[in-house]
A and B are shown apart, each in its own frame.
Chain A
Amino acid sequence: MRKADSLQGSLDLLVLKILSRRPRLHGYAIMTAIQDISGEVLRVEEGSLYPALHRMEEAGWIRAQWITKDTGRRARLYELTAAGREQLSTEESRWQAVTAAVNRVLRVV
């Protein structure tokens, strides 16, 4: 498995956080949610989102379910698992620690 770099780490964090607030979203909704909430600052590429979703699914942090929408089209909805909730809190505290450290450096130097 590829090593989680900081960017990927933050992508995981964003996806987990959004799913913790708004359960049962499909890929497109997650993508737009990140875009909207960040005020168009953060954009996620489809090419990064889906491998990340599938990886987290195999890791057991999120689970997916097919539903049939009113239009008759099927969509794949994601939601957080218990393991995912735990992962979210670790990622969150890690993110806090990293940003705090970066801030300290910015202040001091």
Chain B
Amino acid sequence: MSLWSRVANVFRGPSLSREIDEEFESHIEEAVERGRDRAAARQAFGSALRRREESRDMRLLAWLDWLCADSVFGWRQLWKNRVTSAAAILSLALAMGACTSAFRLIDALLLRPLPVADPQRLYALTRQITGTDGERHTYDGWAYPVFRRMRAAVKDQAELIAVSPVMRTDLTYGSDAETEKAHVQYVSGWMFGSFGLRPSVGRVLTENDDREPGAHPYAVLSDDYWARRFARDPKVAGRTFRMDNRLYEVVGVCDGPFAGTETGFVTDIFVPTMMNARVTRSDSAWHGTLVKVQPGVAVEPVRDRLNAVSRAFEEERAKGWVGASRQYIETWLQQTASLEPAGAGRSALQKQYRSPLAALGVLVALVLLISSANIANLMAAQAAARAREMALRVSIGAGRWRLVQLVLVESAWLGILAAGVGALFAWWSAPFVAGLLNPLGEPVRLALPADWRVLGFGLALTCGVTLFFGLAPALRASAVKPAAALKGGEDPHSRRRLMHALVAVQAAFCVLVLYVAGLFGATFERLSREPTGFSADRLLTLETVAASPQPASYWNQVVEHLRATPGVETVALASRALLSGYSSNDAVAVEGGPPSADEAYFLTVSSGWVQAMKIPWIDGRDFRAGDTYPGVAIVNETFTKRFFGGRNPVGRSFDRATDEGARLRLRIVGMVRDARYLDMRGPMLPVAYVPFSQPVGRGTLIVRTSSANPRVLVEVLRREVPRARPEFRVSSVETQAEIDLVYTVRERLLAMLATFFAFVALLLAGVGLYGVLDYSVLQRRREIGIRLAIGAQAGGVARLVTAEAFSMVLAGALGGLALGMVAARSIASLFYRVKPTDWDVLALPSLAILAAALLAALPAVIHAMRIDPATALRAE
């Protein structure tokens, strides 16, 4: 109660003072009434002002009162220099907002726990396998039969949960004409129980829904999808949909924000793993495995147990691989299982963006430091200008801590205002950047709430930054020596030393940001210029499906029909588009020899496909009527080099040696140049193209249009496909250019953001240097005036003004480059065909900082030259 009244009294300061004064007045009047002399009574009272101060301090919270007074004073200081303050606040806000934004993204993708029970006990089971390139890769995929054995083996220590990747799938709640897309995830039925998830409508899946292959056509919707697609209709349970030619029944809706375990993607519909066609196959590693260890159980023994079961399973399986080479089998069996924490979910997106986001986080942190250093210099310069004011305050009895508080409060104003503007920036920019991580047709959806985690980060950032740029000037201001300062003779160099140290640090960080941005820029430029081997110009890919496998002749009818459509230049068919992420690989055996250790890649294509893709011919012919698979193949250059020693292979033959031991004889009828098949970064792969001869239910029509924008034909083609043959329907359409872009999304993002922050860093460092030089000219104007008066040359003055700062910039730049080369090693995997020691990536940041420094020094040098000795010396 007393505390409250004292806090309240702080905010009625003037009326409180009036009240105290009035009481004193009434005291004196009373004394006079009783016959005392007025002057004597006043004298007895002493200094009224002092009495009032004493009483005030009794009646309110003194420190809060000071704080309020300092806040008002600090605000006035900022307002007095409002242009400078606004610039400082904006630059700081940009950097703080970027930092907060980076934190939001890193938190959402990598740190935020899944909304399930005990996420800290959740691990992902992965395998490390040595690839054909001799390097060890980590894979998340497991086959269901081995999953089942592993689950039984660790039953008492941990629960194993199978989760497939989220798949964008065609399904319909009505007729086939109303087909729509939904994100489907196959999960173990017991996942819901293990994660402590409850239904809000109907029921969730249980272990009983996941026992017999194909026997449980039930589905559970995520809350997000239920709200989006069904507007939270409580009668959704019992509705049915058709997917992959099966009818599923919706049995319920999962309550709460849980939408799958694949961070970055939102699951709409959960179905039991038993409904996946591959659930019985030992050779298809199609789902991930999450391990939830029981409380108090050590992770290592569980992992060893799982590893042993997995190894035994693979050894048993390899016995059936009569077709594979011994070396291949040995490498395969050297796999080891391991457990990685998966409390924040598990997705390829995390793997792909872990180090890029960390790198961007470091870059924005550096920009923040550069920006803070600017403000520290600004505050130091302002404190110097106010040395007399500080000295006066000390002389009339202000304590050291009161001065520290005074300057810190002013810094806090800057920090808080910048944090406010920065929060707005972060609010906009985090979803903007998340929107750029956009794999084809799969918009990334990250939960980016502004909750206590983000607020806490913002608060800590604000305090840290305020102390960083405010504490040194505050301590300096409080250490003022009144006698020296009032005479105007304080050591001016001490303050400049701090400023110059900050200039060096700024230059180092700026060069580091520029250097890393240059590496990312070069990577993007080189990767996007990487030839694909085919032409994506005006090319549409139509993924086309039929309810059941259709003979090649029917597919041909569709191709012929589309060729006659106006606006279409050429049409061909392939099982999948190049670079679509699909791959099919097997060992090959040349002319009856043993199977190769290296695998070859296969793609089924129609005749005319090579021409349609504009892949150049080297020799031989295209497929023609009567060609079959097995029977004939067209191979690429790398295939020729790898398996035929580079000699022309047309007319020779090889066997496709499948893992199961089958040998499919293929005679080479043609040879073409290399084209990118699976990715953009790795070496070209050996590829054999084979013709369609068996009926298939899914294929990709490749259409090259004559109009510059192929998208204009999409609706026409969607209509024309079923018109050619009613069995077929277009499931999705993408341009080949869009597919190709997927392989540079990450590099484009990194290059774009890093370049942006490099410009910001350069600008801030330039502004900072300008401020320091201008200040030092101002401070040394008497010295410069004397030099000019006794005949100093322009060059000499310029050197005097800039030499020290320039040597600092140079030292900083060298330090920054050294730091950069060390840092680049830790993110080497993000670079493509660019070495951290390339002369151009080293030269660019050095030249940029030098140019910025020269530009920043110009006004200060001009200012110095224009000093009129007479005026400078006469002024106090």
CB closest residue in chain B, given A57: B59
Give the residue of A28, A32, A51, A73 whose beta carbon is less than 8 angstroms from that of B55. Answer: A51
> Are B27 and A51 touching (Cβ within 8 A)?
no
Give the residue of B22, B44, B55, B58 whose beta carbon is less than 8 angstroms from that of A74. Answer: B22
> Are B45 and A46 touching (Cβ within 8 A)?
yes
Give the residue of B26, B34, B50 whose beta carbon is less than 8 angstroms from that of A26. Answer: B26
> 1/0 per position for B204-226, CB-CB distance to A under 8 A?
00000000000000000000000
> Knowing A55-B58, A57-B59 touch, does A50 contact B24 (C-beta < 8 A)?
yes
Does B389 belong to the interface (CB within 8 Å)? Answer: no
> Knowing A55-B58, A57-B59, A59-B2 touch, does A47 contact B29 (C-beta < 8 A)?
no
A74 to B251, CA, bound (A): 80
> Knowing A58-B5, A60-B2, A73-B29 touch, does A27 contact B58 (C-beta < 8 A)?
no
> Knowing A58-B5, A60-B1, A60-B2 touch, does A26 contact B27 (C-beta < 8 A)?
yes
> 1/0 per position for B13-37, CB-CB distance to A under 8 A?
0000000101110110111001000
Give the residue of A50, A59, A75 whose beta carbon is less than 8 angstroms from that of B51. Answer: A50
Residues of A close to B24: CB separation below 8 A: 46, 50
> Are A74 and B26 touching (Cβ within 8 A)?
yes
- Please give the distance in Å from A8's CB to the nearest CB on chain B: 12
CB closest residue in chain B, given A69: B26
Q: For chain A residues 16-42, which have a beta carbon within 8 Å of chain B?
A: 26-29, 32
Does B651 belong to the interface (CB within 8 Å)? Answer: no
- Please give the distance in Å from A90's CB to the nearest CB on chain B: 17
> Are A54 and B30 touching (Cβ within 8 A)?
no
> Are B2 and A51 touching (Cβ within 8 A)?
no
Does A76 belong to the interface (CB within 8 Å)? Answer: yes
A46 to B26, CA, bound (A): 13
> Knowing A46-B44, A47-B46, A73-B26 touch, does A58 contact B6 (C-beta < 8 A)?
yes
> Are A51 and B58 touching (Cβ within 8 A)?
yes
Residues of B close to A55: CB separation below 8 A: 58
| Number of A interface residues in the complex (CB < 8 A) | 20
> Are B51 and A46 touching (Cβ within 8 A)?
yes
Give the residue of A51, A58, A60, A73 whose beta carbon is less than 8 angstroms from that of B54. Answer: A51
A57 to B59, CA, bound (A): 8
> Knowing A28-B31, A51-B54, A58-B6 touch, does A46 contact B23 (C-beta < 8 A)?
no
> Are B26 and A75 touching (Cβ within 8 A)?
yes
Residues of A close to B1: CB separation below 8 A: 60
> Are B51 and A28 touching (Cβ within 8 A)?
no
A58 to B9, CA, bound (A): 10
Residues of B close to A60: CB separation below 8 A: 1-2
> Are B29 and A27 touching (Cβ within 8 A)?
no
Residues of B close to A58: CB separation below 8 A: 2, 5-6, 58-59
Q: Which among B20, B26, B44 has the highest number of chain A CB atoms within 10 Å?
A: B26
> 1/0 per position for A45-77, CB-CB distance to B under 8 A?
111001100110111100000000000011110
Residues of B close to A32: CB separation below 8 A: 34
CB closest residue in chain A, given B52: A50
CB closest residue in chain B, given A51: B54
Residues of B close to A75: CB separation below 8 A: 26, 30
CB closest residue in chain B, given A55: B58
> Are A46 and B27 touching (Cβ within 8 A)?
yes
Residues of B close to A73: CB separation below 8 A: 26, 29
Residues of B close to A26: CB separation below 8 A: 26-27, 30
A89 to B545, CA, bound (A): 96
A55 to B62, CA, bound (A): 13
A5 to B59, CA, bound (A): 20
Q: For chain B residues 491-532, which have a beta carbon within 8 Å of chain A?
A: none
Residues of B close to A29: CB separation below 8 A: 30
A54 to B34, CA, bound (A): 24
- Please give the distance in Å from B53's CB to the nearest CB on chain A: 10
CB closest residue in chain A, given B23: A76
A19 to B318, CA, bound (A): 101
A20 to B513, CA, bound (A): 75
Residues of A close to B26: CB separation below 8 A: 26, 28, 73-76
- 12 residue pairs A–B, Cβ–Cβ below 8 Å: A26-B26, A28-B34, A45-B44, A46-B51, A47-B50, A51-B51, A51-B55, A54-B55, A54-B59, A55-B58, A58-B6, A74-B26
Top 8 A-B pairs ranked by shortest CB distance?
A28-B30, A54-B58, A55-B58, A51-B54, A54-B55, A76-B23, A46-B45, A28-B27
Apart from A26-B26, A58-B59, A76-B23, list 6 A-B contacts with CB within 8 A.
A26-B27, A27-B27, A54-B20, A59-B2, A60-B1, A73-B26
